[in-house]
């Protein structure tokens, strides 16, 4: 079960304590919500994503026919009226149990097992003091798969069951993450406030790569999706001596999140925005910029200063934004290519 670094604002779900044992029946019920990743689905999903990148063909054909209606966005996905993300109290314990039961610990990911990757994303979000719903969604961010990860542990026609497992707000963020084009979201984040004609509006537009639908998300939801993407990218990065395009993408996602939280206007959002600006961005720069061999303390401190790293990230963000090839763009934005 995930633990936090701090978090008085957003409450606690007995952080740091071991989860209680469930009865055998409840554990079996949790496992039944998810499934093992299917080779056929992964292959068809990968082919669909190649066609989506190359030709703009949407990917709904790659999922089972009974799931195709489930990957469409509806009114409730645009805005969840039933549950406030900041007031929801929940734990990722049930989801972690279910994921491990269907083999998440044996599935591979970029740097480690799939389960370890999910844990790393959730741990990163926990250190940023995000609401519980976003923390749980961080662990489950690719349970439905994603544009860049076609392996699904949950089918779209089981969304109601996943909501019971993790809560309405967390499931909604998991679903939005899974169906939103990462490539187009990264590009939108890099374009925001990059022109000289003023600030953008208090929202971002997501594109469903399964259906081609476009949806303007409210400021709070746009911010939370930016945080999920930032934590996901950071989870696969290794520290480098100089800033990279991927670090620049993370920086822009975090700054967009802070601006969007400010636009929401609620005290809880304002507090989280202040945390991002005053601590999180600086911590990210400090963690992912390392010392040159034989570099003295003064030179290292100057090179890793917030102002210098921020300026270099802005330069890299402009370069990344201007990358024409979508394939190369994604490789740079996610840290596969470091130049």
* Secondary structure (DSSP) of 205-253: EEEBTTT--EEEE-HHHHHHHHHHHHHHHHHH---BSS--HHHHHHHHH
In this predicted structure, what is the pLDDT of residue 201? 75
- Sequence-separated (6 or more) residues with CB below 8 Å from residue 13: 1, 89, 90, 91, 132
In this predicted structure, what is the pLDDT of residue 4? 54
Overall domain count for the chain:
1
In this predicted structure, what is the pLDDT of residue 306? 81
In this predicted structure, what is the pLDDT of residue 75? 84
Query: What's the rounded Cα separation, in Å, for the pair 176 and 171?
Result: 9
In this predicted structure, what is the pLDDT of residue 117? 95
Look up the pTM and report it. 0.89
User: Which of 44, 42, 235 shows the shortest CA–CA distance to 151?
Assistant: 42
Q: Are 266 and 325 in contact (CB under 8 A)?
A: no
Q: Are 330 and 323 in contact (CB under 8 A)?
A: no
Q: What is the DSSP-derived secondary structure letter of residue 110?
A: S
DSSP track, 275-315: HIIIIIHHHHHHHHB-PPTT--HHHHHHHT-HHHHHHHHHH
Using CA atoms in the order 48, 238, 175, 185, what is the torsion angle rounded to 10 degrees?
A: -70
User: Which of 76, 153, 70 shows the shortest CA–CA distance to 107?
Assistant: 153
Tokens of 204: 């971002």
Query: What's the rounded Cα separation, in Å, for the pair 252 and 111?
Result: 24
Q: What is the residue range of 204's domain?
A: 26-333
319 domain residue, yes or no:
yes
In this predicted structure, what is the pLDDT of residue 293? 79
In angstroms and rounded to an integer, the radius of gyration of the C-alpha atoms of the chain is 19
Distance of CA 29 to the CA centre of its chain: 27
17 domain residue, yes or no:
no
- CB atoms under 10 Å from CB of 105, counted, come to 13
Query: What's the rounded Cα separation, in Å, for the pair 68 and 326?
Result: 25
176 domain residue, yes or no:
yes
- Sequence-separated (6 or more) residues with CB below 8 Å from residue 300: 291, 292
Secondary structure of 18-83 as H, E, C letters:
CCCCCCHHHHHHHHHHCCCCCHHHHHHHHHHHHHHHHHCCCCHHHCCHHHCHHHCCCHHHHCCCCC
Tokens of 49: 């994503």
201 domain residue, yes or no:
yes
Query: What's the rounded Cα separation, in Å, for the pair 110 and 316?
Result: 23
286 domain residue, yes or no:
yes
275 domain residue, yes or no:
yes
Q: Are 138 and 120 in contact (CB under 8 A)?
A: no
10 domain residue, yes or no:
no
Q: What is the DSSP-derived secondary structure letter of residue 262?
A: H
pLDDT means over runs of 10, the chain (339 residues):
41 37 51 86 96 97 94 85 63 89 88 92 96 96 96 94 92 97 97 62 92 96 98 94 94 96 95 96 90 80 82 94 96 94
243 domain residue, yes or no:
yes
């Amino acid at each position: 079960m995930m633990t936090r670094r701090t978090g008085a604002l957003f409450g606690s779900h007995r952080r740091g304590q071991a989860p209680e044992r469930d009865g055998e029946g409840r554990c079996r019920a949790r496992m039944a919500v998810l499934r093992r990743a299917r080779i056929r689905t992964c292959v068809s999903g990968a082919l669909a994503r190649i066609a989506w990148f190359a030709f703009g063909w949407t990917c709904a054909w790659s999922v089972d026919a009974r799931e195709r209606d489930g990957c469409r966005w509806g009114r409730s996905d645009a805005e969840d009226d039933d549950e406030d993300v900041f007031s929801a109290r929940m734990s990722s314990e049930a989801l972690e149990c279910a994921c491990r039961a269907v083999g998440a610990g044996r599935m591979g990911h970029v740097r480690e097992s799939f389960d370890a990757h999910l844990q790393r994303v959730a741990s990163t979000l926990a250190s940023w003091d995000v609401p519980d719903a976003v923390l749980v969604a961080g662990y489950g961010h690719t349970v439905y798969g994603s544009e860049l990860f076609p392996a699904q542990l949950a089918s779209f026609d089981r969304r109601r069951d996943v909501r019971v497992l993790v809560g309405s707000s967390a499931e909604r963020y998991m679903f939005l993450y899974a169906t939103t084009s990462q490539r187009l979201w990264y590009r939108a984040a890099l374009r925001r406030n990059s022109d000289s004609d003023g600030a953008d509006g208090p929202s971002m537009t997501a594109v469903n790569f399964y259906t081609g639908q476009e949806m303007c998300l409210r400021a709070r939801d746009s911010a939370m999706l930016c945080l999920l993407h930032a934590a996901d990218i950071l989870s696969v990065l290794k520290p480098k001596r100089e800033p990279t395009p991927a670090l620049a993408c993370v920086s822009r996602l975090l700054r967009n999140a802070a601006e969007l939280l400010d636009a929401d206007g609620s005290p809880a959002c304002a507090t989280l925005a202040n945390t991002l600006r005053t601590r999180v961005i600086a911590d990210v720069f400090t963690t992912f910029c390392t010392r040159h061999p034989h570099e003295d303390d003064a030179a290292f401190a100057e090179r890793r200063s917030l102002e210098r790293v921020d300026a270099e990230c802005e330069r890299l963000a402009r370069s990344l934004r201007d990358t024409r090839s979508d394939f190369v763009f994604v490789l740079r934005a996610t840290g596969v290519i470091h130049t």
